């Protein structure tokens, strides 16, 4: 079918105003939060599951690949379309359909923003626990595709632990339901398989998530350390006491200075590193555990320990953590973010390697990460206009990925594999492992029409790496 004929049929499904096909209008859809870019053939904005199904059926009939797109905040190239492919964007499918206070569930459309859901259910004394730093912007559909995490996933688990049921459109437009309203359903756990499949199995059109009651009390600590080594020791000490905080985050000296340039989060600019630790639960329990946490921080060399018990103080501390990556725009116009996971006991060792890589490749690297579960986020800061600097950043990232695996870690904690890390998959998985993964994908999408070219190292690569500007200070449009 000729291009215009295909576009006209898309418009017949969703309406003339909801198909974007002009090249200038498509520019904002050619990238996500990664360094890769790829222009889609068109972007379709459906208003219902039926329109999603019919769009997929038409694309399948015409042999056109399709990529689902939420808010474009992902960091692995997961929302980019291959040449000739279209995106289905969920800007219009953003309704909270139901909140069941008795069963503590919410049913939503995939375009609902993470923080909007959390704010909405707090009116009923509940919350949605997964909280990526991009939660002001990221959508639940994208969170499900990448199995997004966040600071409070240390205690409560990533997205997959909070999704109960999914209505899904397959590559040919067939609609299926995975999971159910109860926590356990008979048969294969296809809901669990789908979450984190990076848009290669199907496109979620309706989602049911579980909600948690708001804690009775919350207490947040800021442990201030002279260097990153002592802060790493404190992480192991806290966990070693048998304590699992709701969140345990680390921010290094460079990141502290960047944050304080754009917002006063209350971080001391002369610190080598700070730990942000949050406890939640019953008042008596939090009070008892607080003493152990504070003791562990002092014993491992903290120069100062601050405690925030009021909402305003707590929000100020978290504002610094959640705007850190946007604040890096004050240092350099481009970034490349590594998402490796290592054992907590290896944090100091791996951070020394990060410093070596920084020096070796001449790239500034800042560290803000989920220390409690060893999920590192070294952020390479550079100016993409400098000849060869992007290639150096990518080479440094590759060396860090290999090192994370070598010390017993893995490739991604929450950002997904996508385009960014697919060449590293053989470091972790055998050929037999990858073959089983492909067969699983083929059971859902045998024609490989959904988000092709992602995850697997030998899939065709269609994408050109082009550095893009770092968001302005305060923008948190990333999964970190």
Instruction: Return the pLDDT at 259.
Output: 96
How far apart are the two ends of the chain, measured CA to CA in Å? Answer: 41
- Is the pLDDT confidence value at 261 over 50? yes
125: Cα separation from own chain's centroid: 26
Average of per-residue pLDDT across 1-26: 94
Q: Report which of residues 206 and 461 the model is more confident about.
A: 206
**Residue 468 pLDDT class (50, 70, 90 cuts):** very low
Mapped onto helix, strand or coil, the DSSP state of residue 464 is strand
- Is the pLDDT confidence value at 269 over 90? yes
- Is the pLDDT confidence value at 351 over 50? yes
Q: Quote the strand ranges of 253-339, DSSP E.
A: 273-281, 304-308, 334-337
Give residue-wise pLDDT tens across range 114-138. Answer: 999 999 999 999 999 999 989 999 9
Q: How far apart are CA 82 and CA 64, in angstroms?
A: 10
**Residue 181 pLDDT class (50, 70, 90 cuts):** confident
Q: Which two tokens stand for residue 378?
A: 């070294």
The pTM (predicted TM-score) of the whole model is 0.93
Instruction: Return the pLDDT at 480.
Output: 47
Looking at every residue in the chain, the average pLDDT score rounds to: 93
Mapped onto helix, strand or coil, the DSSP state of residue 212 is strand
Instruction: Return the pLDDT at 182.
Output: 82
Neighbour-count burial of 192, counting CB atoms closer than 10 A to its CB (0-12 exposed, 13-18 middle, 19+ buried): middle
- Is the pLDDT confidence value at 463 over 70? no
In Å, what is the CA distance from 447 to each residue of 81, 168, 437? 16, 17, 15
**Residue 2 pLDDT class (50, 70, 90 cuts):** confident
Give residue-wise pLDDT tens across range 436-460. Answer: 999 999 999 999 999 999 999 986 5
- Is the pLDDT confidence value at 81 over 70? yes
Average of per-residue pLDDT across 140-149: 97
Q: Please name the residue that has the structure tokens 């590559």.
A: 171
Give residue-wise pLDDT tens across range 296-325. Answer: 999 999 999 999 978 999 999 999 999 998
Q: Rounded to 10 degrees, what is the CA torsion of 327, 332, 336, 339?
A: -40
Q: Which two tokens stand for residue 245?
A: 């905080």
- Is the pLDDT confidence value at 477 over 60? no
Instruction: Return the pLDDT at 3.
Output: 79
Q: Report which of residues 25 and 458 the model is more confident about.
A: 25
Instruction: Return the pLDDT at 459.
Output: 67
Taken in order of first residue, the domains within the chain and their CATH numbers are 3-91 (3.30.43.10), 217-322 (3.30.70.3450)
Q: How far apart are CA 64 and CA 298, in angstroms?
A: 59
Q: Rounded to 10 degrees, what is the CA torsion of 463, 423, 327, 361?
A: -110
**Residue 1 pLDDT class (50, 70, 90 cuts):** low
Give the lowest-confidence range in 222-226, 276-280, 329-333: 329-333
**Residue 185 pLDDT class (50, 70, 90 cuts):** confident
Percent of the chain with pLDDT over 70: 95
Instruction: Return the pLDDT at 24.
Output: 95
Instruction: Return the pLDDT at 266.
Output: 94
């Amino acid at each position: 079918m000729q291009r215009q004929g295909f576009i006209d049929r898309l418009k017949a499904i969703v309406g003339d105003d909801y198909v974007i096909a002009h090249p200038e209008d498509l520019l904002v859809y050619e990238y996500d939060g990664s360094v890769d870019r790829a222009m889609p053939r068109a972007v379709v904005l459906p208003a219902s599951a039926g329109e999603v199904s019919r769009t997929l059926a038409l694309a399948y009939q015409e042999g056109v690949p399709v990529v689902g797109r939420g808010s474009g905040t992902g960091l692995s190239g997961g929302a980019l379309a291959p040449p000739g492919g279209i995106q289905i964007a969920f800007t219009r499918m953003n309704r909270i359909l139901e909140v069941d206070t008795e069963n503590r569930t919410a049913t939503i459309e995939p375009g609902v923003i993470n923080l909007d859901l959390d704010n909405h259910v707090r009116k009923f004394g509940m919350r949605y626990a997964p909280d990526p730093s991009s939660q002001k912007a990221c959508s639940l559909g994208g969170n499900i595709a990448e199995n997004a995490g966040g600071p409070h996933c240390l205690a409560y688990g990533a997205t997959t632990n909070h999704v109960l049921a999914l209505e899904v459109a397959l590559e040919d437009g067939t609609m299926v339901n995975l999971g159910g309203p109860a926590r356990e359903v008979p048969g294969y756990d296809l809901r669990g398989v789908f979450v984190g499949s990076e848009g290669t199995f199907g496109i979620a059109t309706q989602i049911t998530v579980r909600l948690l009651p708001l804690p009775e009390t919350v207490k947040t600590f800021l442990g201030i350390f002279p260097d990153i080594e002592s802060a790493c020791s404190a992480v192991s000490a806290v966990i070693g006491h048998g304590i699992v905080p709701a969140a345990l985050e680390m921010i290094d000296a460079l990141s502290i200075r960047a944050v304080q340039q754009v917002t006063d989060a209350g971080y001391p600019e002369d610190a080598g590193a700070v730990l942000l630790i949050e406890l939640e639960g019953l008042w008596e329990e939090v009070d008892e555990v607080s003493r152990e946490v504070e003791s562990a921080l002092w014993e491992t060399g903290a120069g100062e320990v601050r405690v925030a018990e009021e909402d305003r103080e707590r929000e100020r501390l978290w504002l610094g953590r959640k705007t850190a990556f946007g604040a890096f725009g004050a240092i350099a116009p481009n970034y490349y973010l590594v998402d490796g996971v290592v054992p907590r006991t290896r944090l100091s060792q791996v951070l020394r390697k990060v410093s070596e890589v920084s020096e070796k490749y001449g790239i500034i690297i800042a560290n803000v990460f989920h220390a409690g579960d060893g999920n590192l986020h070294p952020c390479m800061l550079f100016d993409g206009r400098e000849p060869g600097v992007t290639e150096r950043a990518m080479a440094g990232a590759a060396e860090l990925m290999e090192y994370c695996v070598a010390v017993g870690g893995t490739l991604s904690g929450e950002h997904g594999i996508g385009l960014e890390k697919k060449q590293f998959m053989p470091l972790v998985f055998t050929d037999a492992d990858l073959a089983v993964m492909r067969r699983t994908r083929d059971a859902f999408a045998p024609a490989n029409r959904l988000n092709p070219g992602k995850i697997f190292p030998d899939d065709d690569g269609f994408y050109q790496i082009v550095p893009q500007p770092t968001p302005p200070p305060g923008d948190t449009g990333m999964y970190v």
